[in-house]
Structures are given as C-alpha cells and as structure tokens.
Structure 1
C-alpha cells in the first residue's frame, strides 16, 4: 500500500474520529453518539470487506470465511454437551482454516464467562490453509491474540498430511464444497490404488468379510476428504476422557452423492457403522455469502453418551432465521441467538419432535444407524436367443465391429484382395482416413493395416458359410440345440476355432427374443457339504434355490444355471432393515417371473435423504379454489380467458 501511495488514506479512514471501531459507545467531534461495535459486528465488517474484494477478483468468498453466527452454532454444538467434562488442556484443529474464524471463536467461546464454561486450561489452536493471503491473515490473527502462529501451516491439507503425528480434541471446519481436487489426485492415488492411509477404510462385504475400501469421492468435489482428514485426527476417549468432537459444514451432495461401493458412500458407511455420526443440522438457505444452496452441519463424536449410541439425530432448522435488511452477497438472512438456543435445546432433547418457535417450525427426528443403509443388488433375467445362419447375418463377420466403417470402404474401393494382403494398400487407406477425418488410436490403426485381422474375419465368414451349407437357413428357437449342432458340424469338418472365435460366430447369428428358450450356462451337480455351504451362504432353503439362479432338474441334486441377459439386468436398492429375499418375492417376482437374485453382486451403501425424512405432503387445491382464481383473473382480463377457453 505504501508503494501505491494509499497507505495514508487507509490509516486516516481507520483512525477517523467519525468511525467507532471500539466495543464502547463514544461521541464524534460533533457530539453525536456512535454505537459500539461488537465482536460479531466486527466479524461482519471483515467478512463484507473480503466479500467485496473477492467479487472484484472473481474469487469465491466461501473459501475464506463462514458467517459468525454459523460458527457460534457450531461451537455450541461441539462444546456445550460436554462443558462440565472438558480436558484440562485442549487442542482445536481446522483443516481448511481460512482466516481462522473457527479457531478463534472456539477459543473465545471456551474462555468467555458468559457461556458458563470459562475454561481455565490451556487451549492450543491448529490449522492449515492453502490460500496465501488468508493464511497470512490467520497467522497474524493468531499472533495478535497470543496464540502460537507456528501451529498454522500453509499448503494443501489433502496433498500433505502435515499433522500426521497429531490427534486433536476438537475440530471445526467449513471445507470448500463442489471444488475439484483433480490436481491433488496424484498425491492420494496411484492409478486406482489409494496410497494415503487417511483415505482408506476397513469395511465388511455382504458376507461379513473385511476388506480395504476406497474412501475417495469423485475428483470434482473433495469436501468429504476434509471430513476424513478430521476423522484421522480424532483422539480416543482413553487419551483425554471425552474423545473427539467434530463439526463440519457441507452441502447436500455429501449426504447422498455416490453409488453403493463408491467413495462417497463408503465414507458415509464408515462414519455411520463406526457410530461416529451424532447429528446433522440443516441450515436455512442463503445463510452464506457466496451461495444460496442448502448447507448442513455434520456433528461427529467417537464417544457418544449411552442414550445416543447407535442413533443419529437429524434436525431441520431450515425455517429458523431472521431476514436481513440488506443482502450481503447471497446472504439474506441470519441466525439470531435465540435460534441457536432453540437448535441446541432440540439437540439436547434428542427426541423426534416437531416444535414451533416464534412461528418458525423446528423438526427433529432420531434414527437407528441402519436406517440409512441399503443393499444394492442385481436382479438377473435369463438370456433367450433365436439363431439363424442367414446371408445377411453371416456377412457381418467380414468386418470387425470397431473398424466396420473403414473395412467396408476398403472392400468397396480396393476389392476382395484386402483379405489376402492389406499391407499393399497402406497408402490409400491412410489417405482415406485423413480425408474423411477418421481418427483411430495406434492400436486400432495397426489392426486395420494388419493382414492377421483380415484373414481372421475371412476365416470366420467362410466357417459360417460352411455351417449354413450343412444346417441351412432355418430359424432356431432354442440356442442350446443350435449350439450343439454347430459343435457337431465343426468337429465333423475338423475345423478348430478358439472359444472366442466360436463365440463371435454364434453372437453374429443370434439375437434376443423373449419367446425363445433360455440359454443354459451350465448344468451342475450340487450335493452333500457343497449344497449345505451354498444354502448357508445364500441364507435360503433348498426349495428357494431357483430364486437365486439355481434351477433344479428332474434329476436329484442337479441344477441348471442360465446365461444372463445383461440388457434386462436391473438393480434394486433394498433397505438394510429389510430382507433381500422377502423384497424380491413381494416386489419383483410378481412382475418378472423368470428373474433371480444375483446375491454375489450385493454392495452395501449409505445415504441420508433429508427430503425423504422431512417431506410434508401438500394436498392439491380443490376445484372450487382453482375456479375462484380463474374467475378472479377473468375479471381482470376483461373476458379474454373466457374467449380463449370458448366458455
């Protein structure tokens, strides 16, 4: 500022006798009283300045700060339930600390006489921030308030595990959501393998076997990685008597994005199955400066009181707010102290309740952990194929499916000699590809110019023609019988094909038809211990095996397994609290009689749908009400509506 010659102007503004930035009421030189500025007010001043500057720079202000009343609510949620049992020395951590608001407000809350806590022990603040400017602000704030600035680190929390050897008592954060972490993937994953232990979790499959699961979300949104970072830093209750408590702000995608077995779902599953999730509070819209979307506070604890164990409380505080007289960016409302008190009161009651506070509805619901889980299972249907050795179908064997267009051009323009030696036409083919702007990768281009590929397809074509000559062009309704006949002809003709080549021919001359016979995959003998193990694994009786894809024949202990028609495969999402078999019998089998459960495909997922749990049905308006509205509009429109409707 000195170099730009603006420092003096700034200092004059801040030291002006007409501005009161103190916490006491004073008068200006003209005798006019100037109100004091509270800590909350000073926070708003700071936040408004940052918001304005970042709007000019097209940056996201949400990366820098959180509204002070949201921080206040978070500190109450974290500290108030254990205010009489706080550790003598406390450590507080924010992995995306920004300007340090979460940290300093937590410290103020613990030390403030008015809160009734008035903690006497030492408090140590830790944080990490990737933005250099806000890192500098945070570090300066630590120095001004007598905290150790060396505990605030610069850099990416995700790329480098700076506090790998630390565990913290309390953690509060508002990590960036909806922001890509693609540039940091290389520090966390090597291909598909997760190399940072913070982002792997131990889960159990459907059969109860432990496995290491990927706990990384899609690269377009890294907010849940910050939550995993905090979970990695939790202290055990044996270390400090109370364990660790976490409050973290997230948007709605953290609740439900990601399929069963995916990174986001694995994170939610790990948190809930390990009984770490205590509560989630839905906040009002337009509470933050840079976004109007709905946000949620996740409250985690690894030492829940007995009455909260195995449970999760959801609180909908979406209607609890006061409108601002003037918008601050996207922020058009705020939480008053009484709103925070209402939410804390509802949290501590820990009941399912719908209460009215000053005309605003606050809803709380308590769920068992398993209520959020589900099994995703594939429902299979048998492949039913018709087959015919027609000229039209056999001709498709002359071309590779991936290279069909350029191969057809070669035959049409260069002749059948392509199947003898394609290499002599290399120049013409390359010219054609360039002219038609057909882009092939190195592998496909090499295959197109390889005699091996052309000879293979010519051999498949001539083999199919031989089969046609022997078996004719009749349509087969039973693929199993057709395949037996094909195998017989190939054997008698001493034609040796690989399994893949034979499959290519069969697929080329066959198609799905719902009236055709089921295609048999194999017929197996299952008896004795093998049968008992199968029944135990599937959790069913012998007469129920067909519902799991094992169909008994007339022979004792003999079962048929059918090929699956992948185009008809369906996925069902079944609550953990419900039996997969019962669901199948009640909801699937009555509509699709030939379906079966693919139990080995089961994946367990978790999602939290506030809309589902807090949905309030609004009945449709009556015809009388609608008629009255139309008539009222009619009066305003001088008969235009009646004329349009022909009334």
Structure 2
C-alpha cells in the first residue's frame, strides 16, 4: 500500500468519528470507539472467507461428536488463524438487522462478540467494547458506525477488491494494518494534546535500529530467532524487525522461524499489539499486559534480539515496592556485581532515581541476554533513550552503576545521537544505544559514538513535535559508519564519528580533605544553645520563651496548643518529635548539659583555646575537678557548641597510629606509595618513630575531584591540588568509580565570534538597503 492510499484509508476512518460520534462522545473519547472497531473489523474481515468452514466444524463437534465444550484446535484449523468466531454473525450480517430494534441489534452484536475465541475476548475486554456498543445503541448511532466500517468504499481485508464504481481498493497487509493503527493513535493523541510518543516510534527510526542490530550478523543468523520488546506499545518494533528479516528485496530473506515477545502496560495498546500478532499468525500468548518493572514476566527466558523505546522521564515510584524492600533491591534484574577501588567484588544497587525509570528497561533487556558459548552466540540490543541516561547520576549512583556495569562488561558497542524533533511527543535529543555481549574482535574494549544530529530532511508538515525524518540514504550512511567502524567521518559528511576506549568514559570521584582547626571559648551565646536539643532547636527555643521554667515539668497539658502552633509556624514536626517536645526528660537532659556548661564557663573564664587538642585534655581534668558526669554524647555536644572553625587554630587530631613492620608495608602496598608520601593520604609523622597522626577533616572545606580512570590519583593530586592547598590530603576511603558519556564534550566545536568590524559593516549594508527600499516605496 502506497502512502497516498494509506492516508486515504486513515482519513476515511478518522471521518467516522466526526460523522457518527459528534454529540454522543466528547472528542477525547472518539478513540474508545474507533480503535476497537478497526481491530474488530480487521479480525472480522479475515474470518469472512472461512466462516462457513468454522460453522461446519462447530456443527461437527456439537452434533456428530456431541461435545459440550468445543475443541479450539479444530476451530483454529478451520479458520486458518489462532482465533475464530463460532456465532452465525459477521459484521456484514449484523448490519442486516437494521430493520429490527436497537435492542435486538445489541443482542445480536453481543452474541457475535461471545462467539469469539478467548484470545479475542480478552482484547474486547481491554477495549471495553461491550460498554461502547450499549452506549452507542442508546444514542441510536451503533448502526451508523457499523455501516461505516463495513462500507464497500474502504478495504480492511488482506485481499484486493473493487468499490461500487469499479475502482480498485488495494489489499491491506498486516504491516499496512499496523501503520493504520499507529497513525490513528498518533492523530487521536495529537488531537487531545496527549503524548503520542508513548505508543509511536517513527518508522524510519525503527528501520535504523533493526538494520543496526541485524546487519553485522546477517550471515550468521540462527535457525530460529527470538525478538523481545519490554515496552512494546502497539508492536511497531517487533513488526518492523520481523519484516526486515523476512523481506526478500530490502531485507535478509530469512527463512527460519521468528518468535516475537513483548510486554505493554497500557490496556488499549496491548490489545492492538496482541490483535496484530494474532492476525499475523503469531503466538498471542507471547504478548503480555502489565508493568515490565513490577513483574519479571519472562523470567528464565533469553532472547537473540531486543529492541525498545522505553518511556523516559516517567516516574516508577509506584513500582518501587516490587523492586525494593526499603532500601534493599530485591529484584535480581536490578542488582549488579562490581569491584570497588581496591578490587573487592560487591553487589550494588542498579536502580535510577524514582522520577525516571528508562534505564530499568535497559537492565531488563540486559538480564535477558543469551550467554556466549559454543552453542549460543549472545544477544544484540537496540534501545532509544534521552540524554539523561548518558550522564545523570553521580559516581556510585544507580544510573552510574548501570552505565559502569554495561561498559566494564564490554557490552556497549555504539551510541548514535539522533536529530532533535525526530519524535512526535518531544523535541529533545534522543540516542540509540547498541549493546552486544559477543563483540567482534575489532570492537572489543571500544565504544563508537556517532553524532547524526545534523542528518535529516524536513517534513512538509509537522506531525506533533516531529518536523524532520531520516531519508533512506541517511539510514544507509549511519549503518555504513557503524558497520565499517569509522573512527572519523569524511569532511563533507554531516555525520560526526569518534572511537573511544571503554575506560575513557570512567572516572574516580575522590574527596580531598583539609584539616579541622577549632577555636574554643565558653561564650554566653554558645552556652545558651545547649539548653535545647540540636535537632529541635527552633521549637524548643520558642517554647522556652513562651512557658519558661514550666518546660522542665513537661508540656503535656499544652499538647493541642503546641500541635497547632507547629502547623502555624511551619515547624514541620512529626508525631514522634512533638511527643519528644512534650516530654519532661527531653528538657531535663538539656538542662543538665546547660548547667554543666555554666559551671565549666566559670572554671575556664574568658580563656580562648586555639588548640582544640589541648582544650580536650583540660576539659577532662575540669570535669573531674568539678565532679561533673557527662555521657560521651553530652560531652561531644558541649564541645561542638563552644568551638568554631578558625584558620589560625591548630589542627584537630583524630588519632595517633603506630605503623611499623608488616602493618606499614601492607598500608604502603595498599596505597601504592612510598613512606614519605603518606601525608598525601592523611598520615602525618608525629616525630616519634613509627607513629603517625591522622587529623580530623573539616567537612565545609571538603572538595570532590573527578579524575579520569586513565590517570593515577596521586599524580593528579600532586599536579592539580597539592601546589595550591599544601595541607590537603586524599581520602581514599571515599573513592567511587563512575561512568558518563557526553556528546557535547566529545563533539563540540567552538565557533569564534565575528570581528566587530565585520558586524558593523553588515549593519551598515543593511541600513543602506533599508534606506533604498524606503525611498523606492515613497517614490522619492
């Protein structure tokens, strides 16, 4: 079917909504009738030719065999499909009941629907078609819709036929039917300002994806092929991939069996996809409905090829309870094993932030890759994502762990950047990820980046956000660059291509620490803060100012008043915190600390300590002298309250550690440094043989450095940090490894600003042209 005929058919079906459903449905609900009727009429037209054989089989099973329950195998054989209808009705025959009442038409229609096989009944149920039929009958438009869909001026059958004027109506192939489905969905969604892209991936993008995953191994295809899409929508990826495989002229002429699998969360699009599979003679049981993330529907299965355009920027918060138990990931699809900086293997979280679950779909496909051995040759994946999947997430985050897991296992072959405005529901830049767990030798350890952002042709009319497309020659050029493993593109090409080693995308994130330096003094302001629990400072201070010494007897009598005040003044307290505020013990514990601080203030007077270590020693002596007993937590709170950072103060010692013999040798091996380089890692000689000082770090002065995996951390520190901050050190316990891919970083080309003189010259020229035009208009 050519483009013109396809559009004519779509426009005819589209017109049914305005002709028949106006004033009966709001515009946003037209699709609830049109889409299921398209599916129903397509199935009905396929069954027309074998209707008599099916009825004979029904009579045979009921009469001759006396079966109360019909055997579906005989009925499927009679119909020639995996579906059938055992009622005497077809949509054409139903139209003949027009002389009877609407009630009779509805009864006949429901008998017709009841006659379908269970797989069609499920589709009817997902569309809620019975409710629509009753509603249309009540509004007296059911017959009108039925007549339109059985019109002799449209052909929804797989065979060519003539209209009443003798004009040829081309056959509608299964592929053509898929185009009709998705074009109607796109038009309805566009009409309603909904996101068409949730269901519809441009065909040329699917064509590119299929060529990229099949072309490299077209001569080594297995005797039977499995293809999977975890977010299959109406099945466009599955349909197009099979078409490319089996096509003789433009495809690979594949003669083996092709098994298609998919899962879709939207009932309507699932129904369309499943009906499409049935029409093609595929196993409809391979298409499942529900959330791919919540349930591992195809657990235990693996697939040769996987293609998908998962939803991006979509929250998966409602599915977290199936994936995580608290903070622990319980779904093995989203747990991965990675090595830490020291080479220890650990199981880590591979889930992205809850606001965007697109990388979970990629991990779902990764979990279903076939192993590589003598019998199996692995799997190939093509998946469309937006830019956030390339770089969102810091080192150690779920997103970064996913990228790291894929790249360190050497599965990522290439990423192709697509032009903006390529998709119907978004103008953002999108990318095709290509994965292969059986890379050819020349691709091992490397990733190819292809920037095709400038390779497109404009559409004559925008389709939603889509204003451009790939021409066949564009697809061929991208495929060629990929197959030939280009490391650069010709100067006259609109493509940009570069090759990178896997480790080029990786980096260490390292904390650079500086010592804490504290000045200590018992000031009235510092002591006053100890009257309140640090975590409840604001409300406790406000309540003390209100109730004074009453707080030490407890505030239960004022519970309602305090609860209302908390809401009014925005304290944002939970029930547990409010209970703590009302409890006398909370106030008494702080009172003990406050009074102890007052005694210590009297003991130390106005002294200022510039050496926190010295103060700590004197504090212990003072507590003994004053016979004060403080818990470790209370003592810590007191010391924090009376100390502030001061760059002129001495460094705060965390501990002193003996490092000699084997212990020292192991540490040096562990750090990969010489003994004189230990200060760079936070170990400072104390002056005593074998003893080293470890200082407290000042968190407010902490810096995080991002260092490429190709560089030695110590070398980077000595070059970039140590000359500027001599007292800084590397916290190797903080080291995390991350991965990100930045097309802007690798392909950005700076365009120098034009000289001022050149700009001024252009402005002068434009001014003269404008003046000339004005004179011409005024005739002077």
Question: 1:412 is matched with which residue?
Answer: 545
Q: Bigger shift: 362-371 or 238-247?
A: 238-247
2:307 aligned with 1:162: no
Q: Alignment partner for residue 217 of structure 1, among 340, 352, 373?
A: 352
Structure 1 equivalent of residue 455 of structure 2: 320
Q: Which of 737, 750, 756 is 1:623 aligned to? A: 756
* Distance in 1 (alpha carbons) for counterparts of 2:277 and 2:697: 64
- Quote the residue 1:340 is aligned against: 475
- Alignment-derived partner of residue 678 in structure 2: 545
Alpha carbons of structure 1 residues 282 and 11: separation in structure 2 relative to 1, 3 Å: farther
**Residue 236 (1) aligns with residue 353 (2):** no
Distance 2:343 2:449 in 1: 29
- 5+ residue gaps in structure 1? 639-647
Partner Cα separation in structure 2 for residue 625 and residue 167 of structure 1: 62
Instruction: Deviation per CA, 1:453-495: give whole Å up to 9, x if none.
Output: 2222222222222222222212221111122111111122222
Match of 1:110 in 2: 245
Q: Give yes or no for the alignment of 1:329 onto 2:459.
A: no
Match of 1:578 among 711, 733, 738: 711
Q: Alignment partner of 1:65: what SS?
A: coil
Quote how far apart the aligned CAs of 1:433 are: 4.8
Give SS of 2:534's match.
coil
1:74-153 mapped onto 2 (5 Å cutoff)? 74-115=209-250, 117-153=252-288
Tell me how far apart the structure 1 counterparts of residues 511 and 567 of structure 2 sit (CA, whole Å): 44
Deviations 1:331-385 (A, max 9, x none): 11111111111011100111311225xx651111111111111111111111011
1:644 alignment partner in structure 2:
none
Question: 1:493-512 deviations in whole A, cap 9, x for unaligned?
Answer: 22221111111111111101
Distance 1:108 1:18, change over 3 A: closer
- Which digits, 9 at most, give the CA deviation of each residue in 1:57-115, with x for residues without a partner? 45321121211111110110011110100001111111111111111111111111113
How many equivalent pairs are there? 635
Stretches of structure 2 that go unaligned for 5 or more consecutive residues are 1-32, 34-132, 772-780
Match of 1:255 among 390, 395, 404: 390
Alpha-carbon deviation of 1:426?
A: 5.8
| Aligned residue in 1 for 2:315 | 180
Give how far 1:394 is off: 1.5
1:400 aligns with 2:564: no
Q: Aligned residue for 2:632? A: 499
Give the superposition deviation at 1:626. Answer: 2.6
> Hey, what does 1:47 align to over in structure 2?
182
Say which structure is richer in strand. Answer: 1
User: Taking structure 1 as reference, are residues 628 and 26 closer, same or farther at Cα in structure 2, changes over 3 Å only?
Assistant: farther
1:514 counterpart = 2:647? yes
Q: CA deviation at 1:627?
A: 2.1
Distance (whole Å) between structure 1 residues aligned to residue 654 and residue 630 of structure 2:
20
Q: Distance in 1 between matches of 2:645 and 2:590?
A: 23
C-alpha spacing 1:335/1:442, structure 2 compared with 1 (3 Å):
same
Tell me if the contact between 2:421 and 2:429 (Cα under 8 Å) persists in the aligned partners: yes
| Deviation, structure 1 residue 411 | 3.4
Does residue 444 (structure 1) correspond to residue 596 (structure 2)? The answer is no
Partner residue in 2 for 1:645 = none
Q: What do you get for the CA RMSD once the two structures are aligned?
A: 2.7
Aligned with 1:567 (options 688, 696, 700): 700
Give the aligned partner of residue 361 of structure 1: 494
Structure-2 change in CA distance of 1:6 and 1:286 (3 Å): farther
Q: Is the 8 A contact 1:379 1:572 kept in 2?
A: yes
C-alpha separation in 2, matches of 1:579 and 1:437: 50
Structure 1's 65 and 466: CA in aligned 2 closer, same or farther, altered over 3 A? Answer: same
Equivalent pair of 2:186/2:200 in contact (CA under 8 Å): no
Where do 1:432-511 residues align within 5 Å? 433=566, 438-511=571-644
**Contact residue 424 and residue 466 of structure 2 kept, 8 A:** yes
Structure 1 pair 123/426, CA: closer, same or farther in 2 (3 Å)?
closer
Structure 1 residue 429: Cα displacement: 5.0
Relative to the length of structure 1, the TM-score reads 0.92
Q: Is the 8 A contact 2:333 2:364 kept in 1?
A: yes
Q: Bigger shift: 127-136 or 421-430?
A: 421-430
Q: For the pair shown, which has the larger CA radius of gyration, 1 or 2?
A: 2
Q: CA deviation at 1:37?
A: 9.1
Change (3 A) 1:136 1:439: closer
- The answer to which structure has the higher helix fraction is 2
Paired with 1:632 and 1:6, the residues of 2 have a C-alpha distance of 68
Between 617-626 and 69-78, the greater mean CA deviation after superposition: 617-626
Contact 2:155 / 2:170 at 8 angstroms: preserved in 1?
no
Over 3 Å counting, the alpha-carbon distance change for 1:405 and 1:279 in structure 2 is closer
Inter-partner Cα distance in structure 1 for 2:142 and 2:762: 61
1:612 counterpart SS class: helix
Contact 1:87 1:241 in 2 (8 A): no
Cα distance in structure 2, aligned partners of 1:388 and 1:310: 59
- The superposition leaves residues 125-168 of structure 1 with CA deviations (integer Å, 9 ceiling, x where unpaired) of 11111111111111111122221112111111111111112111
1:73 has 2:219 as partner:
no
Q: 1:99, 1:137 within 8 Å by CA — same for their partners in 2?
A: yes
Provide the TM-score with structure 2 as the length reference: 0.77
Cα distance, 1:54 vs. partner? 1.7
Question: In the aligned structure 2, how far is the partner of 1:119 from the partner of 1:7?
Answer: 45
State the shift of 1:36 in Å. Answer: 10
Deviation digits for residues 202-237 of structure 1 (CA, Å, limit 9, x no counterpart): 100000000001111111111111111111111123
